[in-house]
Amino acid sequence: MAGYHQLFIPGPTNMPDRIRSAIDRPMENHRAPDFGELTLPLLEDLKKVFKTEHGRVFVFPGTGTGGWEATITNTLSPGDTVLAARHGQFSDQWIQLCQAHGLNVRVCDRSWHEGAPVQQFAEILQADTDHEIKAVLTCHNETATGVTSDIAGVRRALDDAGHPALLFVDGVSSIASLDFRMDEWGVDAAVTGSQKGFMMPTGLAIVAVSPKALEAAKTSKLGSFYFDFQRNGMSHQNGFFPYTPATTLLYGLRESVNMLLEEGMDNVAARHNRLAEGVRKAVDAWGLSLCGNDPALHSDTVSTVMVPEGVDGGAVVRHAYERYDMALGGGLGPLAGKVFRIGHMGYVNEVMLLGALAGVEMALNDCGAAIQPGSGVAAAQNHFRAAGAATAMAA
């Protein structure tokens, strides 16, 4: 098929040429005396993406799931209690991972249309006067549902209760795209992967940890050799890794961080908000609704759109792929068939997104949803024009 494949899934995301070129290089010695010239400033600059001065960043070959595992195995002990909410595919999987490691998970089951239950967390933490709960797990941006949770609110719940539990945040589809403030929100471990906001290929787990989490790592008994923070941290001091690192991906990550910092993290978040708002205007114009109940929590990186009665969300995704060479995200778990997802994170701008919205309109109509062609595109155009001059994205 001629033309570019249109990738609008919520990760992996479109890869800029700058990153593609940075990765395209020969293999080299990861124990060369000057390897630290690449890695030491990179590990330091990554802290700016997480907005942490006090934290420490670890980069592992792996994915976001590996980042969860690194966090849990480094900081907790078998039988420890953790508090978590289940309100989507990824919050559910993090709970499963904890259970697989023999942790006792206090699960707050929520509808898949809601965010993390800040008030319920507050009540549970207040009642936990013996401080049985060792960590609170929150998924910042549920990629399945397109609902963003209030991490500052969870922090307040902990502080108001005077509770010492660690705060772990899944930022796989938020960090490097949405406003993320590790230090200000008192996050003890923030987990992400390379293939979403970082605009990279899949293959790196990126985890930032607070001094408190590093302290917990000294007594944790769950244990991991590969992910061990102390073992990795010792090696990182000189810019090395205690295994063979993915050198080419580290060069890609260097370029990614350059691009993010050139644009500025606040501008990156503002761009994602502007783009997402255009998508929301389009969804409104189609007469459809988003999965999230609370408009204040609608995600700026992924929109999960409910399909009308009688239309199969899976068929829309399949048809868009086969007929229009465009990849959309399908519904996960209980949302299968009921939704489709438009990913709008990473290397995306207004005109790219308008193309995606036009493609969605065609696919929806072909699949039996009576959408006025052009209505969503026009609504998004009006929003983008009114939203004023875009801050230039790093080219």
Q: How far is the CB of 129 from ligand PLP (least distance, A)?
A: 32
Report the distance separating Cα 289 and Cα 99, nearest Å: 34
**Of the candidate residues 38, 84, 105, 172, the single one contacting ligand PLP (CB under 6 A):** 172
Contact segment (CB under 6 A) with ligand PLP among 25-33, 120-128, 165-173, 210-218 equals 165-173
Cβ(348)–Cβ(393) under 8 Å? no
| Identity of the residue, 170 or 361, whose beta carbon is nearer to ligand PLP in the bound complex | 170
Cβ(199)–Cβ(347) under 8 Å? yes
Q: Is 353 helix (H, G, I), strand (E, B) or coil?
A: helix
Contact segment (CB under 6 A) with ligand PLP among 58-66, 178-186, 210-218, 319-327 equals 58-66
Q: Sort strands 56-61 and 339-343 into parallel, antiparallel or unpaired.
A: unpaired
**Of the candidate residues 35, 58, 60, 90, the single one contacting ligand PLP (CB under 6 A):** 90
Q: How far is the CB of 195 from ligand PLP (least distance, A)?
A: 6
**Of the candidate residues 6, 14, 63, 224, the single one contacting ligand PLP (CB under 6 A):** 63
Q: Interface with ligand PLP includes 92 (CB under 6 A)?
A: no
Known binding positions for substrate: 341
Contact segment (CB under 6 A) with ligand PLP among 61-69, 160-168, 275-283, 285-293 equals 61-69
| Identity of the residue, 75 or 141, whose beta carbon is nearer to ligand PLP in the bound complex | 141
Instruction: Determine which helix (DSSP H) or strand (DSSP E) holds 6, and give its type and residue range.
Output: strand 6-8
Q: Which amino acid is at 26?
A: P
**Of the candidate residues 69, 114, 150, 170, the single one contacting ligand PLP (CB under 6 A):** 170
- Considering only residues 221 to 260 of the shown chain, the ones binding ligand PLP according to CB under 6 A are none
Residue nearest to ligand PLP (CB): 64
Cβ(76)–Cβ(229) under 8 Å? no
Tokens at 141, concatenated? 């941006």
User: What contacts 24+ positions apart, CB below 8 Å, involve 358-365?
Assistant: 359/6, 359/320, 359/324, 359/326, 360/282, 360/316, 360/320, 360/328, 361/286, 362/323, 362/324, 363/316, 363/319, 363/320, 363/323, 363/324, 363/326, 363/328, 364/286, 364/307, 364/311, 364/316
Backbone phi and psi for residue 138, each to the nearest 5 degrees, phi listed first: -135, 135
Q: How far is the CB of 64 from ligand PLP (least distance, A)?
A: 3
Report the distance separating Cα 233 and Cα 230, nearest Å: 5
Count of residues binding ligand PLP (CB under 6 A)? Answer: 12
Q: Interface with ligand PLP includes 299 (CB under 6 A)?
A: no
- Considering only residues 11 to 30 of the shown chain, the ones binding ligand PLP according to CB under 6 A are 11
Q: How far is the CB of 193 from ligand PLP (least distance, A)?
A: 4
**Of the candidate residues 55, 117, 193, 245, the single one contacting ligand PLP (CB under 6 A):** 193
- Counting beta carbons within 10 angstroms of the beta carbon of residue 65, is it exposed (0 to 12), middle (13 to 18) or buried (19 or more)? middle
| Identity of the residue, 9 or 377, whose beta carbon is nearer to ligand PLP in the bound complex | 9
Q: How far is the CB of 53 from ligand PLP (least distance, A)?
A: 25
| Identity of the residue, 138 or 232, whose beta carbon is nearer to ligand PLP in the bound complex | 138
Task: Report CA-CA distances (Å) from 313 to 173, 264, 321, 376.
Answer: 22, 36, 13, 18
Report the distance separating Cα 55 and Cα 183, nearest Å: 8
**Of the candidate residues 139, 169, 214, 326, the single one contacting ligand PLP (CB under 6 A):** 139
Q: Interface with ligand PLP includes 201 (CB under 6 A)?
A: no
350 φ/ψ sector (left φ>0, alpha ψ -120 to 50, else beta): alpha
Q: How far is the CB of 308 from ligand PLP (least distance, A)?
A: 26
Q: Where along the sequence are the contacts to ligand PLP (CB under 6 A)?
A: 11, 63-65, 90, 139, 141, 143, 170, 172-173, 193
